[in-house]
């Protein structure tokens, strides 16, 4: 394989009914992960992933654990095949998969945390109608200015996800988001896309979820002295041994995701292969937009996994 590898783990929005079933049916390592997650969480995760229905899978309290499980199941197979990474990064909930991969967070604690995180983020939401929208083709500082201008006592809109330099997701109450979309179109946005998620994720509006989640984090032990580097969503830097990881993960619920900075850090660290592990192709898509020549791989089916293993064989 390539000299320097990064593992990328997807977040909410990548889910699709049927995900992980081919791995479960074919690989004992994947089966073991699904069975373990069910045992720890008490949730019918196989049914949610393999059969849905879609509206069940799309509930935040189910989605987060479902994606986490699929990524970990694939990871377990890669581990057995001796495929390793020099660093890992995830989008939002994907950061937890990265922490488990690095040995900073135990598998069991990861399952417990994601179950609680998904529940709080899905259920402790303000009652207003919120929406999210992806803005493509406008620099993030201009988007920040537009959001500031629109925000008032009644209106709330802020950047929630900085995906790459030319795409930022805004989040807020429906009216404010619509207004921002309109203004940004006039300024010259190439595209504005209303997203399927409804919660004001990664904004101050999730303060109640953050406060509840902090209580869960108190009972967890993290080991930050691990050799695998993990990039933080909160600022796009590596975790350091003296970081207050519990505070960072709690803060992450109400803070924007800086995937744009994570891409820059991987580029600076001369990563020459980006492997996205789990459903969808979102993160490698972001990387390609920023680094068109990047060597990217998606492992989201047994066919794509076998293709990757074949490549590894050739590289030997």
> Residues 20-40: pLDDT tens digits?
999 999 999 999 999 999 999
- Other beta carbons within 10 angstroms of residue 216's beta carbon come to 19
Report the length, in residues, of the chain. 316
Beta bridge partners of 275: 7, 297
Torsions phi, psi for 144 (to 5 deg) = -60, -45
Quick check: 316 pLDDT over 50?
no
In whole angstroms, give the CA distance from residue 134 to residue 205: 19
> Residues 150-183: pLDDT tens digits?
998 889 999 999 999 999 999 999 999 999 999 9
Least confident interval from 6-15, 176-185, 198-207: 198-207
**What tokens appear for 203 in the block?**
């904004």
> Residues 39-49: pLDDT tens digits?
999 999 999 99
Beta-strand relationship, 130-136 and 229-230: unpaired
Mark whether 218 and 265 lie in a shared domain.
Answer: yes
Mark whether 107 and 62 lie in a shared domain.
Answer: yes
CB under 8 Å to 118, separation ≥6 — which residues?
60, 61, 62, 63, 64, 65, 93
Question: Predicted confidence band at 314 (pLDDT cuts at 50, 70, 90)?
Answer: low
Total-model pTM? 0.95
Mark whether 156 and 47 lie in a shared domain.
Answer: no
What's the domain range around 24? Answer: 5-124+205-315
* Residue of 133, 202, 252, 255 marked active site: 202
Q: What is the DSSP string of 222-256?
A: --TT-SSEEB-TTTSSB--TT--HHHHHHHHTTS-
Mark whether 76 and 190 lie in a shared domain.
Answer: no
Beta-strand ranges (E) seen in 107-207 are 130-136, 157-164, 167-173, 191-194
> Residues 277-303: pLDDT tens digits?
999 999 999 999 999 999 999 999 999
> Residues 108-157: pLDDT tens digits?
999 999 999 999 999 998 888 899 999 999 999 999 999 999 998 889 99
Mark whether 27 and 95 lie in a shared domain.
Answer: yes
CB under 8 Å to 302, separation ≥6 — which residues?
22, 23, 26, 27
pLDDT of residue 128: 86
> Residues 54-75: pLDDT tens digits?
999 999 999 999 999 999 999 9
Mark whether 247 and 109 lie in a shared domain.
Answer: yes
Mark whether 44 and 79 lie in a shared domain.
Answer: yes
CATH at residue 76: 3.40.366.10
**What tokens appear for 125 in the block?**
């939401």
In whole angstroms, give the CA distance from residue 47 to residue 77: 21
Q: Which of 199, 221, 238 is the C-terminal boundary of a domain?
A: 199
Mark whether 235 and 186 lie in a shared domain.
Answer: no
- Other beta carbons within 10 angstroms of residue 16's beta carbon come to 16
CB under 8 Å to 205, separation ≥6 — which residues?
125, 126, 130, 156, 254
Question: Predicted confidence band at 1 (pLDDT cuts at 50, 70, 90)?
Answer: very low
CATH at residue 157: 3.30.70.250
* Residue of 71, 92, 131, 255 marked active site: 92
In whole angstroms, give the CA distance from residue 113 to residue 118: 8
In the chain, how many domains are there? 2
- Other beta carbons within 10 angstroms of residue 52's beta carbon come to 18
Q: What is the DSSP string of 166-193?
A: TEEEEEEEHHHHHHHHHHHHHHT-SEEE
> Contact 279/304 with Cβ under 8 angstroms?
no
Q: Which of 179, 199, 219 is the C-terminal boundary of a domain?
A: 199
Mark whether 118 and 141 lie in a shared domain.
Answer: no
Q: Could you say which DSSP state residue 205 is in?
A: G
In whole angstroms, give the CA distance from residue 200 to residue 158: 9
Question: Predicted confidence band at 315 (pLDDT cuts at 50, 70, 90)?
Answer: low
Query: Across all residues in the chain, what is the average pLDDT?
Result: 94
Mark whether 27 and 71 lie in a shared domain.
Answer: yes
Mark whether 142 and 283 lie in a shared domain.
Answer: no
Determine whether 202 is an active site residue. Answer: yes
> Contact 43/29 with Cβ under 8 angstroms?
no
């Amino acid at each position: 394989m390539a000299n320097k590898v990064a593992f990328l783990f997807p977040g909410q929005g990548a889910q699709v009914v049927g995900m992980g079933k081919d791995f479960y049916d074919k690989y004992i390592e994947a089966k073991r992960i699904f069975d373990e997650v069910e045992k720890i969480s008490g949730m019918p995760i196989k049914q949610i992933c393999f059969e849905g229905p879609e509206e069940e899978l799309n509930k935040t309290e189910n989605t987060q654990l479902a994606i986490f499980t699929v990524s970990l199941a694939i990871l377990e197979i890669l581990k057995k095949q001796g495929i390793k990474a020099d660093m890992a990064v995830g989008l939002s909930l994907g950061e937890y998969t990265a922490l488990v991969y690095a040995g900073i967070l135990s598998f069991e604690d990861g399952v417990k945390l994601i179950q609680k995180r998904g529940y709080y983020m899905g259920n402790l939401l303000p009652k207003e109608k919120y929406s999210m929208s992806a803005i493509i083709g406008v620099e993030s500082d201009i988007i920040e200015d537009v959001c500031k201008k629109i925000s008032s006592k009644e209106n709330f809109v802020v950047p929630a996800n900085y995906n790459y330099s030319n795409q930022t997701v805004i989040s807020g109450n429906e009216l404010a988001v619509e207004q921002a979309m309109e203004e940004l179109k006039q300024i010259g946005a190439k595209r504005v896309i209303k997203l399927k998620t409804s919660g004001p994720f990664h904004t101050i509006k999730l303060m109640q979820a953050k406060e509840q989640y902090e209580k869960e984090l108190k009972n967890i032990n993290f080991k930050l002295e691990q050799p695998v580097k993990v990039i933080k969503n909160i600022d796009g830097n590596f975790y350091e041994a003296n970081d207050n990881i519990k505070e960072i993960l709690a803060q992450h619920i109400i803070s924007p995701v800086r995937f744009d900075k994570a891409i820059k850090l991987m580029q600076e660290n001369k990563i020459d292969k980006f492997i996205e592990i789990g459903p969808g192709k979102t993160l490698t898509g972001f990387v390609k937009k920023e680094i068109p020549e990047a060597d990217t791989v998606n492992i989201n089916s047994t066919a794509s996994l076998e293709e990757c293993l074949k490549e590894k064989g050739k590289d030997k």
